[in-house]
Amino acid sequence: MSPKQETSLWTSIRKTFSSVKLTIVLLIILAIASILGTFIPQDLQTATRLYSQGTFRLLNSLELFDLYHSWWFITLLFLLCFNLVICSLERLPRVWKLIQSVDPQWKDSRLNRTSFSHSMNLANPPVKPEEVIRSITRSLNRSHGEILACLIALAAGFELIARLRHVSIIWDILIIGSALVSIIFFIYTRFQQPIVTPHDQGVDIFFNRGRYSRLGAYIVHVSILIIFLGGLVGNLLGFEGYVEIAEGESKESIWLRGEDIEIPLGFQIRCDDFEFTTYPGTQRPKDYKSKLAIIDRGQEVTLSRQNGVPLPYKIIEVNDPLTYKGITFYQSSYGAAADSAVKLRVNDPNGEEVETYSVNVKERVSLPDSELSFFVFRIEQNPDGMGPGVQIALFQPGQHPGFFWIFNNFPELDERRKGQFVFTLLDVEEKFFTGLQVAKDPGISLVWFGCGLMMLGLAIAFFWSHRRVWIRLSGDQLMIAALTNKQPAAFSKAFDRLVQFLQPFAEK
Amino acid sequence: MKTELFPLSISLFNACSLFYLLSTLFYIVFLAKRHRTIGTLASGTAWTGLAANTAALVLRWIAAGWDHPPFTNLYESLVFFAWGIALVYLLFEWKYQHRVVGAFVLTMALAAMGLASLSPNKEIEPLVPALQSWWLHIHVITASIGYAAFVVAFGFSIAFLLKDRIDLSRFGIAAGLLQIFTLILGSQGSILTRGIYQLTRVTFIEGNMQVVQDPTGHHAASITIPGVGTLLLIALVLYLAATILFFIKTIKQESQIGTHAFTVVGAAFGAQSLGIGWLVFKAGIMEEASLSANPYGFTLLVLAWAAVGFLLLFTWKYDGLLGLLPETEVLDTIEYKSIMVGFPFMTLLIVTGAIWANYAWGRYWGWDPKETWSLITWLIYAVYLHARFTAGWRGRRTAYLSIIGFISVIFTYLGVNIFLSGLHSYGSG
């Protein structure tokens, strides 16, 4: 292929992907696809229930039941990224030129072209340029003070909240880092010197502030790419899984979510205790906590501290997980372990006691003088707000087993079933297992960094502008003209203030 | 002392609703009459309502304890949303000195308070473990301010379209379609198929409302409210006729058709008003019916009805309104300024949501319906900003985008809870 043909292929790709129209088209398709995914069930179980065989097969072939991970959705995301990169690369040189092009010459035409212009007769010419510069700097720095104050307050607020809830070190670094960078940058701009050009007619002074604010939008776009990258890294190198550990038990591997794959942890995790509290007088869960220990290469690892004393365990709860070697364990759920004991009483329909049993889950018991047998199928702490209950499976030869629930709080309930026997739940001696969500995401710091960068980029793009002020001191005249690329209303106030600060030099 | 604060806060919430209602009425009268005194009264009652709202929220927070902020269940969330709308709107009104959009925006605040008052559960419920986090605070506050800013932007978009002399028939078509949609959806189709309107059957046990199950035990039972279905069916048919007439008018451009269409709308509005009034009356006196059993359906009905009310007001007082509204450039500018406020908050909302989700559930993004829809809302407003700054769009096109964004906000905030389920649902809303 000749070089000319190669260039034209790349050029046409570049041309397609540098169009903002393509961005809008891609965004609209992605939006419609995402909306579709909220109406079409994203798990196969519900989908098979909801749709007829034919429809199901058709929709499944397009991967509509796992839309957000389908090949075409991911392709669209990649196309969007590529589009973003090319668009930015195409437009960046021009913006960079604008930033670097410094134009300190006074031009008389500026007085007419911009609405921010003013001329005054000087009371005591000639005026020292340094004095004019000082007044103008003081005036321009006024508005900086407000923004800086807001930024610091915001950073301080986040830092305070982060400290209160043991957020990770990376977050601390990011917040303090960006706050520091912003503070340094603002201090730098305050001391930025204007360009002074003396000439035979007088002196020209040129203030050029906030030119890097033109990069705001590009920072936002880069941050989006960083977030995507973080998501990609997390998807490729990380995993999401689940593990159930009974009290006293330890596990060495976890199960991958949605698939039957076991992933070895490389260490052991043990559940020493599980605690479940409800709000007094209600069945509403207040807290559930697991005391977790980690044994790595035979050693118990220090996981937390109390009064400076290192402890070989950490008590986790919802919103407060345990992280070890990049793997994080989240308190997700819990349940009754297999060796829980259930105490129940069986009566005949007249109310006469037949027998009291103490059984384990799934331990089959035959009922006296009958063909019936039963076992406890499930224990639930609080199904439907009914309080502690167990589900009984009742077996009769030649028939499907019947399932029913009995509840600790409603001892008479089973009479309504009008069965051959009446069951009453006396006590549940529960041993629990803790259900932990397990996740590894090496890309997460990238994602958080991208988010922080995006907020910074938005702040710059929206609230910081490129302001240029030209002054000519000539004879007994002082002329000012100014331009801003954004926020004309706010700049109007700043310009009025500027003129106000220069009033001392003017003729009364 | 803490236990006395709770009933006091409920009384303050009721007072606040009353003030928002008065304020909305004053703003509407202000649109029609343009008296400065009425305008001042409108703002005054709005500020009073906001004060009551703030006091009520603070008292409720104290009563519940420091780490239980007043926005953790649906009732609290709605009241907090109303507070946000009122606050952001009044700040914009104070800065720009324009009262014209007060009517539309305060209607939304009123709707939120109304929906809240229909909520069956106003108690302070202790927090479940997932909600015991500081991220809850930031997440909900950014949501309230962000959404409020978008509601204000919506108000200004409507005002812009009016001042820009949009053909009111287009509003007519939109309003007509909205009525048809809400009447059918709000009654789950029963108005169209059987000409009746039903509420969920309930009983009251010791003051607590309990839903009655139907004999199969799988669904909630329904109770027909007599007369309402007929009235609403008449309204539905008339709205359909009006929409068709409006549509013809936009094609043929004969003002006669427009007049006829508005007459039909007026009749439909009358029938609908009677229907809603009768519904409220009957639900109040019937033992087994309560509007609290179907708060969303009813609020939707009333909001749609209000939209038609506004449309009729615009038609009736068109010239006066045009004189009252500031220049289109001003309306256009304030519209985009409110979106410039809303967008960073919306971004922060999504980010804090992701951070919180990561601590609670172990993943920062799961394509949950709520997460997905908030992203879509964010995208719509991102398109708005690009259309404005990169493509130079102004005026009508950006106003339409703002309205689309607003619809997305409402769906993200309430629609997802009603129609879709996920980790975000507040339980049995």
- What residues of B are in contact with residue A90 (Cβ under 8 Å)? none
What's chain B's length in residues? 429
pLDDT of residue A56: 82
Interface of B with A (CB under 8 A): 125-126, 128-130, 132-135, 138, 340, 343-344, 347-348, 351, 354-356, 358-365, 367, 369, 372-373, 375-376, 379-380, 382-383, 386, 390-391, 416, 420
A38 in B contact zone (CB under 8 Å): yes
Tell me which chain A residue has its CA closest to the CA of residue B135. A161
Decide if B367 and A37 are in contact by the 8 Å CB cutoff: yes
- What residues of B are in contact with residue A286 (Cβ under 8 Å)? 126, 129
Q: Give the Å distances, CA to CA, from A47 to A190, A483, B421.
A: 61, 60, 15
Looking at per-residue pLDDT, the higher value among B54 and A413 belongs to B54
Tell me which chain A residue has its CA closest to the CA of residue B346. A455
Q: What is the pLDDT of residues B294-348, one digit of tens each?
A: 777 788 888 889 889 988 988 888 888 888 888 888 899 999 999 998 999 999 9
Decide if B348 and A37 are in contact by the 8 Å CB cutoff: no
Angstrom distance (rounded) from CA A364 to CA A345: 15
SS (H, E, C) chain B: CHHHHHHHHHHHHHHHHHHHHHHHHHHHHHHHHCCHHHHHHHHHHHHHHHHHHHHHHHHHHHHHCCCCCCCCCHHHHHHHHHHHHHHHHHHHHHHHCCCCCHHHHHHHHHHHHHHHHHCCCCCCCCCCHHHCCCHHHHHHHHHHHHHHHHHHHHHHHHHHHHHCCCCHHHHHHHHHHHHHHHHHHHCCCHHHHHCCEEEECEEEECCEEEECECCCCCCECEEEECCHHHHHHHHHHHHHHHHHHHHHHHHHCCHHHHHHHHHHHHHHHHHHHHHHHHHHHHHHHCCCCCHHHCHHHHHHHHHHHHHHHHHHHHHHCHHHHHHHCCCHHHHHHHHHHHHHHHHHHHHHHHHHHHHHHHHHHCCCCCCCHHHHHHHHHHHHHHHHHHHHHCCCCCHHHHHHHHHHHHHHHHHHHHHHHHHCCCCCCCCCC
- What residues of A are in contact with residue B340 (Cβ under 8 Å)? 462
- What residues of B are in contact with residue A455 (Cβ under 8 Å)? 344, 347-348, 351
Token pair recorded at residue A322: 């345990």
Host H or E run for residue A4:
helix A3-17
Tell me which chain A residue has its CA closest to the CA of residue B134. A161
Tell me which chain A residue has its CA closest to the CA of residue B355. A448
Tell me the nearest-neighbour CA distance from B48 into chain A, angstroms.
Answer: 29
Token pair recorded at residue B404: 């689309």
Token pair recorded at residue A7: 């260039």
Question: Which of A330, A455, A458 is the closest to B362 by Cβ?
Answer: A330
Tokens 């199928």 belong to residue: A377
Angstrom distance (rounded) from CA B101 to CA B224: 38
- What residues of A are in contact with residue B372 (Cβ under 8 Å)? 34-35, 37-38
The winner for highest mean pLDDT among A217-231, A339-353, B102-116 is A217-231
Task: Report chain A's mean pLDDT, rounded to a whole number.
Answer: 83
pLDDT of residue A5: 61
A24 in B contact zone (CB under 8 Å): yes
A34 in B contact zone (CB under 8 Å): yes
A-B C-beta contacts closer than 8 Å: 103
Mutate to test the interface with A, among B67, B364, B421 (most CBs of A within 10 A): B364
Q: What is the pLDDT of residues B259-275, one digit of tens each?
A: 888 999 999 999 999 99
Residue pair B144/B110 in contact (Cβ under 8 Å)? The answer is no
Decide if A438 and B362 are in contact by the 8 Å CB cutoff: yes
Q: Residues of chain B with pLDDT > 90: what percent?
A: 30
Q: Give the Å distances, CA to CA, from B294 to A119, A323, B218, B229, B290.
A: 68, 44, 18, 16, 8
- What residues of A are in contact with residue B390 (Cβ under 8 Å)? 20
Looking at per-residue pLDDT, the higher value among A68 and A379 belongs to A68
Reference A469, options A103, A97, A100, A147; nearest CA is A103
CB atoms within 10 A of CB B341: 21
- What residues of B are in contact with residue A20 (Cβ under 8 Å)? 386, 390-391
What's chain A's length in residues? 508
Tell me which chain B residue has its CA closest to the CA of residue A322. B359
CB atoms within 10 A of CB B218: 7
Angstrom distance (rounded) from CA B377 to CA B408: 6
Tell me which chain A residue has its CA closest to the CA of residue B381. A27
Q: What is the pLDDT of residues A480-489, one digit of tens each?
A: 999 888 877 7
Tell me the nearest-neighbour CA distance from A134 into chain B, angstroms.
Answer: 32
Looking at per-residue pLDDT, the higher value among A158 and A492 belongs to A492
Token pair recorded at residue A473: 């001191």
Q: What is the pLDDT of residues A335-356, one digit of tens each?
A: 777 677 888 888 888 888 888 8
Amino acid B187 reads: S
- What residues of A are in contact with residue B332 (Cβ under 8 Å)? none
Angstrom distance (rounded) from CA A186 to CA A149: 11
**Overall average pLDDT of the B89-101 stretch:** 87
Residue pair B355/B402 in contact (Cβ under 8 Å)? The answer is no
Q: What is the pLDDT of residues A395-435, one digit of tens each?
A: 988 888 889 999 888 888 888 888 888 898 888 877 788 88
In DSSP terms, A83 is beta-bridged to: none
Angstrom distance (rounded) from CA A113 to CA A125: 27
Looking only at the bridges linking them, the beta strands covering A239-246 and A250-256 are antiparallel
CB atoms within 10 A of CB B206: 5
Angle (CA) B102-B107-B108 rounded to 5° is 110
Decide if A164 and B134 are in contact by the 8 Å CB cutoff: yes
Angstrom distance (rounded) from CA A37 to CA A39: 5
Residue A382 confidence (pLDDT) above 80: no
**Overall average pLDDT of the A279-292 stretch:** 79
Packing angle, helices B369-389 and A20-39, rounded to 10: 160
- What residues of B are in contact with residue A438 (Cβ under 8 Å)? 362
Angstrom distance (rounded) from CA A249 to CA A245: 6
Angstrom distance (rounded) from CA A376 to CA B182: 48
Residue pair A432/A338 in contact (Cβ under 8 Å)? The answer is no
Angstrom distance (rounded) from CA B230 to CA B236: 10
A285 in B contact zone (CB under 8 Å): yes
Decide if A328 and B416 are in contact by the 8 Å CB cutoff: no
* CB < 8 Å from B in window 337-376 of A: none
Q: Cα torsion for A8, A10, A14, A16, to the nearest 10°?
A: 70
Query: Could you give the 3-state DSSP secondary structure of residue A262?
Result: strand
pLDDT of residue A84: 92
In DSSP terms, A473 is beta-bridged to: A203, A478
Q: Which of A462-466, B40-44, B418-422 has the lowest mean pLDDT?
A: B418-422
Question: Which of B363, B367, B369 is the closest to A439 by Cβ?
Answer: B363
Mutate to test the interface with B, among A164, A319, A327 (most CBs of B within 10 A): A319
Q: Give the Å distances, CA to CA, from A68 to A29, A97, B48, B409.
A: 13, 40, 47, 22
Host H or E run for residue A358:
strand A353-360
Q: What is the pLDDT of residues A164-203, one digit of tens each?
A: 555 566 666 776 777 777 778 777 877 888 889 888 888 8
* CB < 8 Å from B in window 458-477 of A: 458-459, 462
Angstrom distance (rounded) from CA B396 to CA B164: 8
Reference B304, options B418, B184, B139; nearest CA is B184
Residue A284 confidence (pLDDT) above 80: no
Tell me which chain A residue has its CA closest to the CA of residue B417. A38
Residue pair A265/A245 in contact (Cβ under 8 Å)? The answer is no
A257 in B contact zone (CB under 8 Å): no
Burial class (CB in 10 A: 0-12, 13-18, 19+), B266: middle
Decide if A458 and B420 are in contact by the 8 Å CB cutoff: no
Residue A91 confidence (pLDDT) above 70: yes
Residue B426 confidence (pLDDT) above 70: no
Query: Cα B337 from chain centroid?
Result: 21
Decide if B126 and A161 are in contact by the 8 Å CB cutoff: no
What confidence tier does A24 reach under pLDDT thresholds 50, 70, 90?
confident
Question: Which of B347, B354, B361 is the closest to A458 by Cβ?
Answer: B347
Amino acid A338 reads: A
pLDDT of residue B122: 79
Packing angle, helices A20-39 and A71-100, rounded to 10: 140
CB atoms within 10 A of CB B97: 8
Amino acid B316 reads: W
CB atoms within 10 A of CB A223: 20
Angstrom distance (rounded) from CA A58 to CA A60: 5
Tell me the nearest-neighbour CA distance from B396 into chain A, angstroms.
Answer: 19
Residue A249 confidence (pLDDT) above 90: no
Question: Which of A286, A288, A462 is the closest to B126 by Cβ?
Answer: A286
Query: Could you give the 3-state DSSP secondary structure of residue A94?
Result: helix
Task: Report chain B's mean pLDDT, rounded to a whole number.
Answer: 86
Token pair recorded at residue A317: 């709860």
Q: Report how many helices (DSSP H) and strands (DSSP E) chain A contains, helices first.
A: 11, 23
pLDDT of residue B377: 95
Token pair recorded at residue B6: 């709770």
* CB < 8 Å from B in window 153-192 of A: 161, 164-165
Phi and psi at B198, nearest 5°, equal: -125, 150
In DSSP terms, A404 is beta-bridged to: A392
Decide if B362 and A332 are in contact by the 8 Å CB cutoff: yes
Decide if A455 and B351 are in contact by the 8 Å CB cutoff: yes
SS (H, E, C) A186-245: HHHHHCCCCEEEEECCEEEEEEEECHHHHHHHHHHHHHHHHHHHHHHHHHHHCEEEEEEE
- What residues of A are in contact with residue B360 (Cβ under 8 Å)? 318-319, 330
Q: Residues of chain A with pLDDT > 90: what percent?
A: 10
Question: Which of A24, A37, A319 is the closest to B383 by Cβ?
Answer: A24
Decide if A451 and B354 are in contact by the 8 Å CB cutoff: yes
Angle (CA) A115-A120-A125 rounded to 5° is 145
Half-sphere exposure for B421 (CA within 13 Å, toward CB): 6
